């Protein structure tokens, strides 16, 4: 069973500056919930009971978000706002504990995951990158946990991207595709289009065998001078295997401005508090454009 999940949130978020100058990227809201809470809820739905946030200097607000807020709760209670009280109290899903470890310097995603090793221990674990928001039912990690029961080893979430975008992703070298599952013999971080073994790209959800820690421990730098998670996965495929799952759902790269705005529009069109007004607004925009 997969019970532990690592959420690396120590990156700088430079692509959405100035929003992230002070505010951690993972606290950016999509309608009314910050990205980090979507990821935590997705993990809880998948049966995760222990979440490790890998944070950095200036990111303590991320941990605060999951704490109780006695002053706020007292105020809401006094005013009889029970529905809001429930929302404020349930940022951390029931049955889930959230702890934090620090990444002392932004040495790369692989290094961030390695920093969680003392909490993860020697068991398979999940990794979720909260800036990859995936809206789907069931959640992407739940789909992966169900699949992992058959495949074991390393399992990553994948989707096809246009060839000209492969240099933004980890790309699988596929040996066999069966239904939604692609078995891979290799994985390359940010290849040039002419070098890419496929267009099947890794999205920010992983279930990993702890053998990756053996490689991450060596602190070898890869693409961009960073310690890459992709390299550690690729180096351990011979030992445990690697498969990619084409998940059901829509993924938004909220680490980019366009992806973040798309997530807000789509979520606003399905959220009961905003759907009607936002739909009317978009229709009015179309009329104005046509005129």
Q: How far apart are CA 81 and CA 260, in angstroms?
A: 31
Q: Which stretch binds ligand UTP (CB under 6 A): 3-11, 41-49, 192-200, 276-284?
A: 3-11
Spacing of C-alpha 176 from chain mean position: 26
For ligand UTP, the closer of residues 229 and 264 by Cβ is: 229
**Residue 8 lies near ligand UTP (rule: CB under 6 A):** yes
Interface of this chain with ligand UTP, residues 267 to 286, rule: CB under 6 A: none
Number of CB atoms found within 10 A of residue 110's CB = 24
Q: Nearest-CA neighbor of 261 among 19, 11, 8?
A: 19
Locus of tokens 């295997």: 241
Interface of this chain with ligand UTP, residues 23 to 52, rule: CB under 6 A: 25
Interface of this chain with ligand UTP, residues 88 to 147, rule: CB under 6 A: 103, 106-109, 111-112, 129, 131
How many residues sit close enough to ligand UTP to count as binding (CB under 6 A)?
A: 20
**Residue 12 lies near ligand UTP (rule: CB under 6 A):** yes
For ligand UTP, the closer of residues 103 and 236 by Cβ is: 103
Contacts of 178 (CB under 8 A, 6+ apart): none
**Residue 13 lies near ligand UTP (rule: CB under 6 A):** yes
Min separation Cβ 180 and ligand UTP, Å: 24
In Å, how far are 12, 60, 156 from 100, measured between CA atoms? 17, 9, 23
- For 94: left if phi > 0, alpha if psi spans -120 to 50, otherwise beta; the answer is beta
Min separation Cβ 49 and ligand UTP, Å: 21
**Residue 11 lies near ligand UTP (rule: CB under 6 A):** yes
**Residue 1 lies near ligand UTP (rule: CB under 6 A):** no
* String marking each residue 218-257 x if it binds ligand UTP according to CB under 6 A: -------------------------------------x--
Interface of this chain with ligand UTP, residues 49 to 68, rule: CB under 6 A: 54
The b/e string for 47-59 (b: 16+ C-beta within 10 A; e otherwise) is bbebbbbbbbeeb
CB 233 within 8 A of CB 187: yes
- Does the N-terminal peptide bond of residue 18 adopt cis geometry, omega within 30 degrees of 0? yes
Residues forming the site for ligand UTP (CB under 6 A): 8-15, 25, 54, 103, 106-109, 111-112, 129, 131, 255
């Amino acid at each position: 069973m997969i019970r532990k999940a690592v959420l690396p949130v120590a990156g700088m978020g430079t692509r959405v500056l100035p929003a992230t100058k002070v505010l951690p990227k993972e606290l950016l809201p999509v309608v009314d919930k910050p990205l980090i809470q979507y990821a935590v809820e997705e993990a809880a739905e998948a049966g995760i009971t222990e979440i490790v946030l890998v944070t950095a200097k200036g990111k303590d607000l991320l941990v605060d978000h999951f704490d109780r807020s006695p002053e706020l709760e007292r105020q809401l209670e006094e005013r009889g706002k029970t529905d809001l009280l429930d929302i404020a109290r349930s940022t951390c899903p029931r049955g889930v504990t959230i702890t934090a470890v620090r990444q002392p310097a932004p040495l790369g995603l692989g290094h961030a995951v390695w920093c969680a090793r003392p909490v993860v221990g020697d068991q398979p674990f999940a990794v979720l990158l909260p800036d990859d928001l995936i809206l789907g039912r069931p959640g992407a990690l739940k789909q992966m946990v169900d699949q992992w029961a058959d495949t074991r080893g390393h399992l990553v979430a994948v989707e096809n991207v246009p060839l000209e975008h492969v240099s933004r992703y980890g790309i699988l070298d596929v040996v066999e595709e069966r239904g939604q599952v692609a078995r891979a013999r290799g994985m390359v971080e940010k290849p040039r289009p002419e070098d890419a073994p496929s267009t099947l790209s890794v999205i920010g959800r992983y279930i990993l065998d702890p053998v990756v820690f053996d490689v991450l421990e060596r602190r070898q730098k890869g693409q961009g001078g960073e310690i890459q998670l992709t390299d550690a996965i690729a180096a351990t495929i011979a030992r445990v295997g690697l498969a990619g799952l084409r998940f059901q759902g829509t993924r938004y790269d909220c680490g980019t401005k366009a992806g973040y705005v798309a997530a807000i529009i789509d979520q606003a069109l399905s959220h009961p508090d905003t759907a009607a007004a936002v739909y009317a607004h978009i229709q009015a925009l179309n009329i104005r454009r046509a005129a």
